[in-house]
DNA sequence: GAGAATTAGCGCAAATCTGCGCGAATCTCC
DNA sequence: GGAGATTCGCGCAGATTTGCGCTAATTCTC
């Protein structure tokens, strides 16, 4: 039995918006550019989304929408912004909570249902989806600015500085000075004691994340 | 007439949460510490808040709640985060969109209804209000890190580097090296051509915000 | 096996940033 | 008017960061 206010009304007696989630799923293909996962909607490419169900957190709804619409599992969404223009959706009063969900390529199990679009080459998208992508890219870049692989996007738990550097360059969308990068990141890494094998050139040390 | 889906249902036929706004109103009293505006609730100090009304944006709701509960006008809220735990409010299913609203002291017209609490001395607060304050403080500090007076908190449109420095130190909650600060901020300021008068010591140049 | 190509690690010099302290410019008091 | 206190602006030297290029260590090719 829901509590009632001074006028005998429960919360559900008042007008309330529907709450949707829309997610910019960002990934870095091996050797490729930072890309966003798009799904096909009404003849266009758009971000996966859904409505929040009773008893769910927003992250639960994001997870459900990604499993259902894109076959993506194991995500850890980050809230970006609430889009709240009262007239943004012609079906009625809808708020959309925009999210970022960074994923490894290996988490994209069902590639037939999704399209990988480089964020630098975004096609027209409905609603405020282009803006959501921009917010997501900015957030991903901000988090990569100071810390090594903050979302665990590298394919393996151990990696070389070069591999880390390449990931961060793909995220940034431009070259990063290698020495400055190494000096910033290395103190935040733990050497495994092993060297990379089978690569051309001097074998590089391997690391995992962690450290001072 | 609201649009209907494949099952003949309108959006309002589905369960929907109530959406609330809670606001950390932050200000810097002259010569004082960074402080948050609290209002009296059920025998405690809490942040001002309200429910989103139909046809409103979240910022509209923030503005309404601050006028009604704290007599504060002219605010420009910044969204921080959506608190979405399904059981966070015993009245029913409520999402709360937390906001930051920086204000000048002069905007606090009705001081009888509000309490100014230094953010470093926060009392126990209900719900997630302490966390909202922490998020707001972090956001305010992040925005002050690189740009001069980003929210226009200084009492006057023209100011000296010293005045700006003092504001930024109050926001940061600790001393900031004066030369590094001046070298970072000054290129972002436009000199008015005037010097401060009536102060002890060499008269300082006055500036407004703007510039490369 | 030898040589070429490629890459990693890092010391060093150049570039940039930071803090200090000095002279300049005011206000206050005697 | 002068002395003392205070503050501002900034040049300079010390501290820190950055980029270069060298040697070391591998793979690839003939």
Residue B1 in domain: no
Statement to judge: residues B62 and B133 lie in one domain: yes
Instruction: Report in angstroms the alpha-carbon separations of B87 from A15, A97, B17, B34.
Output: 20, 19, 11, 32
**CB B153: neighbour CB atoms within 10 A?**
21
Statement to judge: residues A57 and A135 lie in one domain: yes
Strand D nucleotides within 7 Å of a protein CB: 5-11, 17-21, 24-28
Using CB atoms, pick whichever of A55, A85, A92 lies closest to residue B86: A55
Statement to judge: residues A68 and A120 lie in one domain: yes
Residue A6 in domain: no
Asked if residues A101 and A24 have their Cβ atoms less than 8 Å apart, the reply is yes
CATH of the domain at B95: 3.90.79.10
CATH of the domain at B170: 1.10.10.10
Beta bridge partners of A28: none
Verify whether the Cβ–Cβ distance A92 to B52 is below 8 Å.
no
Domain of residue B27 covers 15-145
Verify whether the Cβ–Cβ distance A86 to B3 is below 8 Å.
no
Residue B154 in domain: no
Residue B10 in domain: no
Which residue among B97, B117, B145 closes a domain? B145
Statement to judge: residues A118 and A81 lie in one domain: yes
Q: Give phi and psi for B193, each to the nearest 5.
A: 90, -10
Averaged pLDDT, A27-33:
93
Residue B204 in domain: yes
Question: Does pLDDT of A125 surpass 80?
Answer: yes
Averaged pLDDT, A184-205:
92
Statement to judge: residues A22 and A123 lie in one domain: yes
Statement to judge: residues B182 and B112 lie in one domain: no
Total domain count, chain A? 2
Statement to judge: residues A197 and A129 lie in one domain: no
A82 to chain B nearest CA, in Å? Answer: 8
Statement to judge: residues B112 and B139 lie in one domain: yes
Q: What is the pLDDT of residues B28-78, one digit of tens each?
A: 999 899 999 999 888 899 999 999 999 999 999 999 999 999 999 999 999
Q: What is the pLDDT of residues B73-115, one digit of tens each?
A: 999 999 999 999 988 888 899 999 999 999 999 999 888 889 9
Instruction: Report in angstroms the alpha-carbon separations of A207 from A105, A132, A146, A200.
Output: 21, 33, 17, 19
Report the distance separating Cα B115 and Cα B56, nearest Å.
27
Statement to judge: residues A23 and A114 lie in one domain: yes
Predicted local confidence at residue A11, as pLDDT: 87
Statement to judge: residues B130 and B166 lie in one domain: no
Which residue among A118, A144, A170 closes a domain? A144
The ipTM is 0.91
Residue A94 in domain: yes
Strand C and chain B: which residues 125-184 have CB closer than 7 Å?
Answer: 177, 179-180, 183
């Amino acid at each position: 039995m829901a509590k009632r206010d001074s006028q005998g009304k429960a919360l559900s007696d008042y007008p309330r918006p529907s709450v949707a989630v829309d997610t910019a799923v960002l990934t870095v293909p091996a050797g490729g550019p930072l890309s966003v996962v798009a799904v096909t909607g009404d003849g266009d490419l758009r971000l996966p989304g859904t409505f929040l169900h009773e008893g769910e957190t927003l992250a639960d709804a994001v997870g459900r929408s990604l499993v259902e619409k894109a076959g993506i599992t194991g995500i850890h969404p980050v809230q970006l912004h609430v889009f709240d223009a009262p007239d943004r959706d012609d079906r009625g009063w809808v708020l959309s909570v925009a999210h970022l969900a960074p994923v490894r390529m290996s988490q994209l199990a069902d590639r037939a249902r999704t399209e990988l679009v480089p964020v630098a080459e975004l096609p027209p998208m409905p609603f405020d989806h282009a803006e959501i992508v921009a917010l997501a890219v900015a957030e991903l870049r901000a988090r990569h600015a100071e810390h090594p692989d903050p979302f665990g996007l590298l394919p393996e738990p151990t990696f070389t500085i070069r591999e880390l550097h390449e990931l961060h360059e793909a995220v940034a969308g431009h070259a990063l000075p290698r020495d400055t990068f190494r000096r910033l990141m290395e103190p935040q890494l733990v050497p495994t004691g092993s060297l990379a094998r089978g690569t051309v050139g001097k074998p590089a040390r391997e690391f995992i994340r962690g450290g001072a």
